[in-house]
Chain A
């Protein structure tokens, strides 16, 4: 256990060092990331004003808070995508990690975790700037802040595990982007990324509750916005844990078969 913690801390430190090699590139990346939520924010704020001040319980200040936190959650959600798996295998990175006495999953999980600290540090000034412009309505309590922090990392872990499982399809077949596209379209619709889920029809909200996407994205945002009770907030953490463990179960179940299939091409 001590060894694993040492590995995680070292790998995370390394990720931070690597990311700080290119601060400008990271800032441009973050600024690029702002475009999408600002468009949503402007559109929905306009709709709210035209509807007499709010839509689906969201005022323009609520939308401002939603999309401000959105930026952080979106970045926290970034993990090794299934698309990157192709390169991960073809360029021999996976082979190099397979030679080490630690599962490659740990290496990637730790690396992306380290990157998150850079993201948080870069998000803070952007969030302050955007707050001056859009005046968000954001006033969380202490327990909401604590649970939000846990949910933020829980969402990252859950999405990491699900996309690792999805990426493992690459062991059996290449060029499976159609499957990935379907996954990401469903995620866009049912996660709360495109629009707060409470603005969607009742049936869509029910479907979203049964799927994993919302629990990594919309749920932490709603939590810090004060849209959830303490019980709902704790339930959300439980759901995150459920999906994480389910994905991990299938990763473990299929990993050995994947290794048998692995041809170490390009390595």
Chain B
């Protein structure tokens, strides 16, 4: 049985934020009476990650993803609940713990802006007390895997966003962390660069057996890297399981893609026509009806080609959030 590397149990984070109405009167009143509001960013979530697992952590903006990652990396102190990473309690921020993890945030830099990345890597060597030989060996490996040989000698301020991100990732992994918390590592990057980063994460995971918890708004990242996903919304986990299972559970329909010789053929009674482009028709059919409808289509119509597809994962995720929202609203009334 695989070892549990990351464990969260009823993990909760409540932020207390000041609240004030607009206007001068409210400003003056605020001098005497200060009002605060509690924001439940993470609301008692529970999950485990096994060693070597790559898990997608999905949710819309403000869902609680980054807050969870910050709690698990020791940046934020949980309001309640329990978290352990590699057997350590992250909030204690022990050196042994911090030496074995990394948190990469797509919108934050850890490399010094004014100097080449190579100089910053040298600092990381000293910070993590990496033996010289191991440092050079790992650096060579990162340079090769990310293709950054020509980049690391230029001042970071002169690098493009994609180059900077690759240099950042190399710097964050020089100490060969066992747990990677990746928060939007491909944000703002072009498709080629996204693919390169994805390939690198997969390769790092394969070579070093690292556990990865990844947030991304790009479903391509998740599909390429994660068999398992955790979907969070308003601080609550809506789904935790196989990516394929997500589609089965939250998508009531499948899409039958049909190619017909004549685009005017009447398809009433087979399903809902989602789109029709000359002879190519996309038909939405309830999941339970797929085999029956397919058989009828093939028997009744001059079908040239037919494929059965799951809806795009983006649409499924959107459905998950929507259903989650509706359930919460239902509970609130």
Contact = CB atoms under 8 A, between A and B. Distances in A.
A97 to B, nearest CB: 9
A11 B102 CA distance: 20
Interface in A220-267: 259-260, 262-264, 267
Interface in B56-84: 70, 73-77
Interface residue SS majority, chain A: helix
A11 B76 CA distance: 26
B77 A259 contact: yes
A95 B75 contact: yes
B115 A21 contact: yes
Nearest to A22: B114
Given A6-B129, A21-B115, A99-B98, A14 B75 contact: no
B244 interface: no
A99 B115 contact: no
A256 to B, nearest CB: 9
A10 B129 CA distance: 11
Size range of the chain A interface in the assembly = 20 to 34
A102 B105 contact: no
Nearest to B102: A99
B126 interface: yes
Contact of A267 (B77, B105, B122, B123): B105
A153 interface: no
B6 to A, nearest CB: 16
Interface residue SS majority, chain B: mixed
B126 A11 contact: yes
A24 B122 CA distance: 26
Nearest to A261: B77
Size range of the chain B interface in the assembly = 20 to 34
A27 to B, nearest CB: 17
A100 B98 contact: yes
Nearest to B17: A263
Contact of B108 (A11, A14, A17, A267): A267
Nearest to B98: A101
Contacts of B108: 92, 95-96, 267
> Most chain-A Cβ atoms within 10 A of its Cβ — which of B75, B91, B95, B114?
B75
B15 A100 contact: no
B114 A7 contact: no
A6 B126 contact: yes
Interface string B84-126: 0000000101011111011101001110101100011011011
Nearest to A92: B108
A163 B8 CA distance: 37
A18 B76 contact: no
A98 interface: yes
B110 A10 contact: no
Contacts of A267: 70, 75, 105, 108
Given A10-B126, A100-B127, A264 B75 contact: yes
Interface string A76-106: 0000000000000000100110111110000
A201 interface: no
A3 interface: yes
B128 interface: yes
A127 to B, nearest CB: 27
B15 A18 contact: no
Nearest to B71: A264
A152 to B, nearest CB: 25
A225 to B, nearest CB: 38
> Most chain-A Cβ atoms within 10 A of its Cβ — which of B95, B120, B127?
B127
A99 B100 CA distance: 10
B75 A98 contact: yes
A262 B126 contact: no
A99 B126 CA distance: 14
A10 B76 contact: no
B95 A10 contact: no
| 4 closest residue pairs by CB, A with B | A10-B126, A101-B98, A101-B95, A3-B129
Interface of A: 3, 6-7, 9-11, 14, 17-18, 21-22, 92, 95-96, 98-102, 259-260, 262-264, 267
15 contacts: A3-B129, A6-B126, A7-B127, A9-B126, A14-B122, A18-B115, A95-B108, A99-B73, A99-B103, A99-B110, A101-B96, A259-B91, A262-B76, A263-B76, A267-B108
Given A96-B108, A101-B128, 19 more contacts: A3-B126, A10-B125, A11-B123, A14-B115, A18-B115, A21-B114, A21-B115, A22-B114, A92-B105, A95-B108, A96-B109, A99-B73, A99-B101, A99-B103, A100-B127, A101-B95, A101-B99, A259-B77, A263-B76
